[in-house]
Amino acid sequence: MVSVGLLPVLVVSLLLFTIGVVGVLVRRNLLVVFMSLELMLNAVALAFVGFARARADMDGQVAALFVMAVAAAEVAVGLSLVILLFRTRHTTQLDDLTMLKG
């Protein structure tokens, strides 16, 4: 039986993170930017779980749980901000949200 090894896990994590970064940089819809952020968080969680397996140490899995909790908090606040923005500015396009631009 061929076991997985750490390298494939890290490569997948890197690719997933890159896709998330491209989404954050390229997309102009605030909701899709949020989803790309979730992709990046998940890439990091995958790397944590991979390291936990490679070191036979559960601390990495605990870190993955923390990532999940932080993501939940971030989504709750972020999405209520999106709704608030939509209520006052009637848009979720980042290009239209330039009130704070000096």
Partner 1 sequence: MELVLFVLFSGAALAAAGVVVTRTRPFSAAMALVACLFFLAGDYVILQAPFVAALQILVYAGAILVLFLFVVMLLRLEGDEALPRLGPRQAVGLVLAGIVGCASVAFAAFEVSGPFPETGPLFGTADALAATLLDGRNLLALEGISVLLTTALVGAVVLGRKEL
Under rule CB under 8 A, which residues in 82-101 are in contact with partner 1? 82-84, 86, 92-93
- 8 touching partner 1, by CB under 8 A: yes
Of the residues 66, 96, 97, 98, which one makes contact with partner 1 according to CB under 8 A = 66
Site residues for partner 1, window 18-57 (CB under 8 A)? 18-23, 25-29, 31-32, 34-36, 38-39, 42, 45-46, 49-56
Under 8 Å between Cβ of 43 and 17: yes
Interatomic CA distance for residues 79 and 6, integer angstroms: 35
Under 8 Å between Cβ of 77 and 66: no
Q: Looking at beta carbons only, is 69 or 102 nearer to partner 1?
A: 69
What are the distances in angstroms from CA 78 to CA 39, 51, 74, 97? 15, 29, 6, 15
Q: Nearest distance from residue 72's CB to partner 1, in Å?
A: 6
